[in-house]
Amino acid sequence: MRPLSSLLVLAAAWALCGTSLAANPPDREGNFTIRDFKFGSGETLPQLRIHYLTLGQLRRDARGRATNAVLILHGTGGSGRQFLSAQFANQLYGAGQPLDTTQYFVILPDGIGHGGSSKPSDGLRTKFPRYDYDDMVEAQFRLLTQHLGVSHLRLLMGTSMGGMHTWVWVESHPDFMDAAMPLACLPVAIVGRNRLWREMIKDGIRSDPAWKNGDYASQPVEALRAADHLLAIAGSAPLLMQRTLSTPDTVERYLDAYVQRTLPRLDANDLLYQVDASRRYDPSRGLERITTTLVHVNSADDFINPPELGIAEREIRRVKRGRFVLIPASDQTRGHGTHTWAEFWKQELTALLAKTAK
């Protein structure tokens, strides 16, 4: 088959780490080790490693309080490095842009079970503690306060799973940030179709004889291939794909290139844990307690958070300083992956920062 065009590769929203990177590398890359980290399950890990990148320099006021820290949280299966992609970084980090890194200190951590942070594939496999979103937010909080010396955030934002983490953050640490922007998510428990496709992935992995209860010598490739296909649909952009995958041949070439690029990156245990981590997520019970100025952004072509449910419009009324923005679907938006194409919501971020400036 002929090589797939770069435009079609970019349409695969799930594998954002495969897109081109912005020109500027991070100013700092490191690891923070938390000793004897206790998970909500009651399990303990003697050493929990949290990997992170930072851009810019931290500034403090006369009292020593951080004034320019920005925390950006990635989605399921991603890492902080995805926010160095051109479609994100080139829109936000440059001189005069909303998160100009000569003015802001941008923190890009890898969540538990992701990227360079501790995860099942490091060696523990299914003996790795069964983490959830509360555990992941607690580890992020400790990274900031115990390692980076950040006791306050100018802005907290996250995409997809990171957006859900943002909702957890603003409820568990309501005075920690000036502003928050959760993208591509909903502030309610994951049920319905959203939970169903996650359960399909988990069931497929566990049902594959090659999985061997997590003690496989080689990856259960057939289960991972099926999971990879589901992830592609979950992150799909219908109007864009109708335009760019306009013939049977282009569809076949797209799928072939997508699987060749993404399948080798998957580990069955890591993916199983990543998808399972959302099992107890439900910030809906505490929305009235949120005091942070918050702008919630979704896109109208999002398979994972379909607008026809009306959930975002209903729940945002319970957030005192909250506002919801729905990006209209077009043949330019990227479905669920619109969250990482900053051109579509950059103006909302700029307005949020201006509104919360002191």
Residues forming a β-bridge with 157: 72, 181
Containing domain of residue 17, as a range?
6-193+275-355
Q: According to the model, what pLDDT value does residue 23 have?
A: 58
Helices (H) and strands (E) in the chain, counts: 11, 8
Q: Judge whether 303 lies within some domain.
A: yes
Q: Which two structure tokens, joined as six digits, stand for 56?
A: 């810019």
Check if the beta carbon of residue 296 is closer than 8 Å to that of residue 323. Answer: yes
CATH number at residue 151: 3.40.50.1820
CA atoms of 217 and 35, how far apart (whole Å): 30
Q: Judge whether 87 lies within some domain.
A: yes
Q: Judge whether 209 lies within some domain.
A: no
- The pairing of strands 28-38 and 69-73 is unpaired
Mind listing the pLDDT tens digit for each residue in 295-308? Answer: 999 999 999 999 99
- CA 94 to the chain's CA centroid: 22
pLDDT < 70: residue spans in the chain: 1-24
DSSP readout, 267-296? -HHHHHHHHHTTTT--GGGGGGG--SEEEE
Cα dist from 339 to 58, 143, 183, 190, whole Å: 26, 24, 6, 19
Q: According to the model, what pLDDT value does residue 124 have?
A: 98
Q: Judge whether 250 lies within some domain.
A: no
Q: Judge whether 298 lies within some domain.
A: yes
Q: According to the model, what pLDDT value does residue 211 have?
A: 97
- The pairing of strands 155-159 and 293-299 is unpaired
Q: Judge whether 245 lies within some domain.
A: no
Q: Judge whether 166 lies within some domain.
A: yes
* Of 227, 232, 236, the residue nearest 203 (C-alpha): 227
Q: According to the model, what pLDDT value does residue 20 have?
A: 56
Q: Judge whether 58 lies within some domain.
A: yes
Total structural domains within the chain: 1
Q: According to the model, what pLDDT value does residue 55 have?
A: 97
